[in-house]
């Protein structure tokens, strides 16, 4: 590969810097991709929209933001040195600690010198003449490279619904992913939160501790379960360090790369009393065990699912004092686990506070946002602060919001009008030399994400190294491989209950977005096997030139 050089693809323009590879994003994926390629001697530049590293953990600074994965299962696993040096303070680390960790990694590996910050990529165009990509930032800066790797995250394109009057509110207002960098004081403030997903559940619980009055606008009640977080003791710390290899090995073989994995038994292999005891125990344990460590058929069989759904409903009734309010907070329109299960730390008890109001939008929908607040079909609510916890154009949004043009000038967002098409979730036919780490129909979208990121990045890095070693300039997914992958992804998810819910997994949270399961529903071990098999067969399904 070429060393750093400055060239120009057009003699009338200022010289455009050339790289072997350009990475978009300096979150968990972008940082690791930069490290891996640089280690192999490639000349790489990463472009990052934020002013610092961290991606999701840079942007989502709202109070209460924290891991739902066990901290020690979330860290990078590739470097024993990094593992030895870092001590997580809590079993589920809060956002500031995670951001600190990612800065620690970036500094230890000296990554920041190859990252351009405050540089949002607006467009990327493939040149068929020389098999290179040219990217352009919002401020008009350009760069070219043989390989373009998007590491733009799953939940990085914030979505604010198009509610009439949306921009007229004169108080303070943000989407949770655009939280201010300075602390926000909620004392004596009237605060409105729209949304009741995983983000809102964390945020509401924290804001309720100090707020003047909090009003929550809920469209869909969720099945929230306890996170059961606590500090890591000194003894646990030593033990976690000693066991880190085992922890990562456990994640490697579990469906979602968590330390939890489905119980091979059916919910009906045990009698009612034993099932109840198992649910009780899982409800008291930390993390996603209640969802992802439960009977395997809760995600495939409606009757099995009903047993767990009813258990959670009962817990809600036990925790919320006012029965009418409890009923509003009780999900009845989707199966347990088919929408992302929010993990909570006292969420339901918030509604026992006199200064918290729940507005059920199924009964009284929002009509508009006004200068002073929110008007529903029943009444107007006035706020000092209005927060949109309304989610993201997940998985595809960050890519389709850019002008990515492949062969023949085809725009990616046009190609994906009827839903994303990819090969392994890592490449797209018609877009040679473009790798989409954590792309659509990739196991990474339903995963303890750093575990899948490491798999994705390792695969992409090996592939690029293979191309270099064989003096190949171009790799392109074939359309037939893409079609087969699409069919496989559909088959895998069709045996589950996921397609029945209006979730972001299904693209169903964005009006007009094609309804389709956006992740790979076969789990990480199966996904890894598929990717490894493709590589072992000389990158079968790809055209190499
Ligand atoms: P989610 O899970 O997509 O939640 C968004 C919330 O916003 C959800 O309660 C939505 O209700 C609500 N929403 C969206 N549009 C509207 C409108 N128009 N009116 C009222 N309410 C609305 O996003 P999160 O940020 O909470 O979580 C995303 C992921 O981040 C999460 O899965 C974790 O992986 C971390 P709905 O349920 O659609 O009725």
Residue 13: what pLDDT? 61
* pLDDT tens-digit series, residues 289-323: 999 999 999 999 999 999 999 999 999 999 999 99
* pLDDT tens-digit series, residues 489-533: 999 999 999 999 999 999 999 999 999 999 999 999 999 999 999
539 vs 184: CA distance, rounded Å:
51
**Residue 538 tokens, joined:** 């000389």
Residue 170: what pLDDT? 98
Residue 2: what pLDDT? 41
391, 395, 498, 515, best to mutate for ligand 1 pocket (most atoms within 8 Å of CB): 391
For residues 261-273, average pLDDT: 97
**Residue with more model confidence, 11 or 334:** 334
Alpha-carbon dihedral 124, 421, 446, 343, rounded to 10 degrees: 80
Percent of the chain with pLDDT over 90: 97
161, 174, 197, best to mutate for ligand 1 pocket (most atoms within 8 Å of CB): 197
Judge whether 55 and 26 are in contact, CB under 8 Å.
yes
466 vs 452: CA distance, rounded Å:
21
503 lines ligand 1 (CB under 6 A): no
With a cut of 50, say whether residue 5 has pLDDT above it.
Answer: no
Q: Give the side-chain half-sphere CA count within 13 A for 367.
A: 9
321 vs 32: CA distance, rounded Å:
47
Judge whether 114 and 145 are in contact, CB under 8 Å.
no
58 vs 296: CA distance, rounded Å:
35
Q: Percentages helix, strand, coil for the chain, rounded to the nearest 5?
A: 35, 20, 45
Average pLDDT value over all residues in the chain: 96
With a cut of 70, say whether residue 8 has pLDDT above it.
Answer: no
Judge whether 451 and 251 are in contact, CB under 8 Å.
yes
With a cut of 70, say whether residue 6 has pLDDT above it.
Answer: no
Tell me, what DSSP letter sits at residue 112? G
Of 453, 467, 475, nearest to 26 (Cα)?
453
With a cut of 60, say whether residue 3 has pLDDT above it.
Answer: no
Taking the whole predicted model, whether its pTM rises above 0.75 is answered as: yes
259 vs 74: CA distance, rounded Å:
10
Residue 10: what pLDDT? 52
Confidence of residue 14 (pLDDT cuts 50, 70, 90): confident
Strands 121-127 and 213-218: unpaired
Residue 333: what pLDDT? 97
Using CB atoms within 10 A of its CB, is residue 188 exposed (0-12), middle (13-18) or buried (19+)?
A: exposed
Q: Which residue has the tokens 């707020």?
A: 211
142 vs 131: CA distance, rounded Å:
16
DSSP 401-439: TSEEE-GGG-BHHHHTTTS---BTTTB-TT-TTEEETT-
> Could you tell me which residues are beta bridge partners of residue 36?
none
Residue 31: what pLDDT? 99
Residue 353: what pLDDT? 98
* pLDDT tens-digit series, residues 173-202: 999 999 999 999 999 999 999 999 999 999
Three-state DSSP state, 144: strand
**Residue 414 tokens, joined:** 């046009």
**Residue 79 tokens, joined:** 């470097």
Residue 279, C-beta contacts closer than 8 angstroms, at least 6 positions apart: 290, 294, 307, 308, 311
Ligand 1 atom 29, closest CA: 198
With a cut of 90, say whether residue 1 has pLDDT above it.
Answer: no
* pLDDT tens-digit series, residues 401-421: 999 999 999 999 999 999 999
Residue 477: what pLDDT? 98
Tell how far the Cα of 332 is from the centroid of ligand 1, in angstroms.
Answer: 17
Tell how far the Cα of 329 is from the centroid of ligand 1, in angstroms.
Answer: 15
359 lines ligand 1 (CB under 6 A): no
Tell how far the Cα of 200 is from the centroid of ligand 1, in angstroms.
Answer: 8
Confidence of residue 4 (pLDDT cuts 50, 70, 90): very low
Ligand 1 atom 20, closest CA: 219
With a cut of 60, say whether residue 400 has pLDDT above it.
Answer: yes
Confidence of residue 11 (pLDDT cuts 50, 70, 90): low
Phi, psi of 541 (to 5 degrees): 90, -5
95 vs 102: CA distance, rounded Å:
11
Q: Give the side-chain half-sphere CA count within 13 A for 316.
A: 23
**The ligand 1 atom nearest the CA atom of 163:** 18
With a cut of 60, say whether residue 79 has pLDDT above it.
Answer: yes
216 lines ligand 1 (CB under 6 A): no
Percent of the chain with pLDDT over 70: 98
With a cut of 70, say whether residue 12 has pLDDT above it.
Answer: no
């Amino acid at each position: 590969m070429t060393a750093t050089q400055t060239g120009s693809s057009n003699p009338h323009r200022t010289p455009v810097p050339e790289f072997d590879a350009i990475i978009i994003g300096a979150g968990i994926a972008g940082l690791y991709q930069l490290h891996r390629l640089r280690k192999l001697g490639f000349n790489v530049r990463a472009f990052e929209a934020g002013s610092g590293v961290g991606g999701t953990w840079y942007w989502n600074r709202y109070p209460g933001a924290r891991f739902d994965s066990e901290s020690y299962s979330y860290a990078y696993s590739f470097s024993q040195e990094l593992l030895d040096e870092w001590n997580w303070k809590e079993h589920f680390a809060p956002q500031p600690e995670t951001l600190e960790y990612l800065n620690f990694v970036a500094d230890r590996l000296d990554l920041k010198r190859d990252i351009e910050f405050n540089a949002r990529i607006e467009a990327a165009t493939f040149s068929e003449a020389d098999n290179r990509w040219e990217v352009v930032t919002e401020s008009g800066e350009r760069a070219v490279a043989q390989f373009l790797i998007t590491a733009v995250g799953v939940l990085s394109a914030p979505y604010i619904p198009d509610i009439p009057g949306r921009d007229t509110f004169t108080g303070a207002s943000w989407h949770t992913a655009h939280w201010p960098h300075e602390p926000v004081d909620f004392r004596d403030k009237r605060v409105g939160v729209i949304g009741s997903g995983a983000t809102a559940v964390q945020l509401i619980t924290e804001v309720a501790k100090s707020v003047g009055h909090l009003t929550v606008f809920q469209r869909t009640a969720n099945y929230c379960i306890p996170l059961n977080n606590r500090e890591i003791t000194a003894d646990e710390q030593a033990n976690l360090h000693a066991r880190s290899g085992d922890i990562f090995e456990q994640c490697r073989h579990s469906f979602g790369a968590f330390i939890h994995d489905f119980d091979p038994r059916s919910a009906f292999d045990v009698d009612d009393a034993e099932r109840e005891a198992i649910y009780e125990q899982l409800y008291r344990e930390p993390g996603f065990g209640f969802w992802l460590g439960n009977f395997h058929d809760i995600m495939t069989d409606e009757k099995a699912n009903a047993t767990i759904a009813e258990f959670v409903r009962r817990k809600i009734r036990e925790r919320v004092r006012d029965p009418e309010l409890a009923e509003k907070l009780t999900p009845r329109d989707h199966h347990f686990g088919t929408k992302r299960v929010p993990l909570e730390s006292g969420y339901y008890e918030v509604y026992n506070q006199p200064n918290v109001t729940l507005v059920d939008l199924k009964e009284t929908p929002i009509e508009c946002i006004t200068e002073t607040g929110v008007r529903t079909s029943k009444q107007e609510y006035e706020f000092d602060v209005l927060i949109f916890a309304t989610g993201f154009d997940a998985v595809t949004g960050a890519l389709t919001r850019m002008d990515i043009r492949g062969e023949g000038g085809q725009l990616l967002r046009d190609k994906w009008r009827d839903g994303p098409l990819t090969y392994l979730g890592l490449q797209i036919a018609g877009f040679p030399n473009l790798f989409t780490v954590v792309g659509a129909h990739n196991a990474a979208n339903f995963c303890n994400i750093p575990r899948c990121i490491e798999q994705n990045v390792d695969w992409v890095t090996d592939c690029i190294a293979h191309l270099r070693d064989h003096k190949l300039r171009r790799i392109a997914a074939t359309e037939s491989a893409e079609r087969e992958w699409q069919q496989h992804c559909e088959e895998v998810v069709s045996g589950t209950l996921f397609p029945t819910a209006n979730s972001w997994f299904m693209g169903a949270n964005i009006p007009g977005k094609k309804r389709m399961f956006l992740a790979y529903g076969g789990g990480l071990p199966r996904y890894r096997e598929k990717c490894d098999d493709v590589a072992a067969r000389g990158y079968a399904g790809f055209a190499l030139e």
